[in-house]
Chains A and B, each alone.
Chain A
Amino acid sequence: MILELKSYGHLEMVGTLVSQLTKGCSPEEIRAAGLGDYYTDHGISVYPQSASGVPFNAMTLAVKGDPITDLTEDMAAEQKARSTYEYLIDLADDPDVINVLKFLREREVVHFQRFGEALRTVEEKLAERKFYMNNMNNTNNSCGCNEDKGNGTCNGGCSNPRR
């Protein structure tokens, strides 16, 4: 969910880029830029789809309910986004566009770092030695067992006989 909120923020910035770049373009310019098909389907509105034209779909997201699995998934998503920004930078020639893409790429690196720290925190938590306090409320005997309830002794029959 955090990842998605962040991605919506990025989507807004990239959408703004596209909106500003296409503002006032003639149909000829749009066609020459390879946006003819896009223009036919969506005009100059910003529509969430992949570079190859596949619309955004929730199937691209994964969640398993296991913190190790999900955080690792999040970290992979950050790296995929970083690669995508790098490919976009390869293709871009406008320095103002490249600057925005570089900023967004840097965010992916920082967020990967943060998710890595969260993963480490979870792993450390899971590796902690656990103490189970299950004799707290139902112990009757001084040795800690529950045998022969009532008289305060188990007559040495339990695994930790009264000394």
Chain B
Amino acid sequence: MIVDKSRCELLHEIMAVDFKLYDLQLYLDTHPFDEDALCMYQNLVNDADELTEEYEEKYGPLTPKSAAGNCEWKWIKNPWPWERG
């Protein structure tokens, strides 16, 4: 499957934001009252939601939860993570 550049770029952006969220989550587990980190986390959640919505609208589901179309299971139409374009 040929993955066009903008799809790759968008996915890369989502992965970067998700990664920031994950790292910040670990930080917040041991610093639960750090207000700067809490604020940063919430901003990143909003970014991730926006990017995910944009991606899924254009290119299909990122998680199985958004894969149920009206007449087709869209999950298996995506390339698997280990498949390159």
Chain B nearest CB from A18 CB (Å) reads 9
Check: A19 CB closer than 8 A to any chain B CB. yes
Per the bound structure, the CA–CA distance linking A110 and B30 in Å amounts to: 13
Instruction: Pick out which of these stretches binds chain A: B21-29, B44-52, B58-66.
Output: B21-29
Check: A148 CB closer than 8 A to any chain B CB. no
Check: A142 CB closer than 8 A to any chain B CB. no
Per the bound structure, the CA–CA distance linking A16 and B31 in Å amounts to: 33
In the complex the two chains form, is B82's CB within 8 Å of A117's CB?
no
Check: A118 CB closer than 8 A to any chain B CB. yes
In the complex the two chains form, is B82's CB within 8 Å of A20's CB?
yes
User: Which one of A15, A16, A19, A114 contacts B29 once the chains associate, using CB atoms below 8 Å?
Assistant: A114
Q: Mark B33-72, 1 if CB is under 8 A from A, else 0.
A: 0000000000000000000000000000000000000000
Give chain B's interface residue range (CB within 8 Å of chain A): under 10
In the complex the two chains form, is A121's CB within 8 Å of B84's CB?
no
In the complex the two chains form, is B82's CB within 8 Å of A111's CB?
no
Residue of B nearest to A120 (CB): B30
In the complex the two chains form, is A121's CB within 8 Å of B82's CB?
no
Chain A nearest CB from B24 CB (Å) reads 11
B31 CB contacts on chain A under 8 angstroms: 117
Chain B nearest CB from A75 CB (Å) reads 13
Mark out the residues of chain A between 75 and 125 whose CB falls within 8 Å of any chain B CB in the assembled complex. 110-111, 114, 117-118, 121
> Footprint of B on A, CB under 8 Å?
12, 15-16, 19-20, 110-111, 114, 117-118, 121
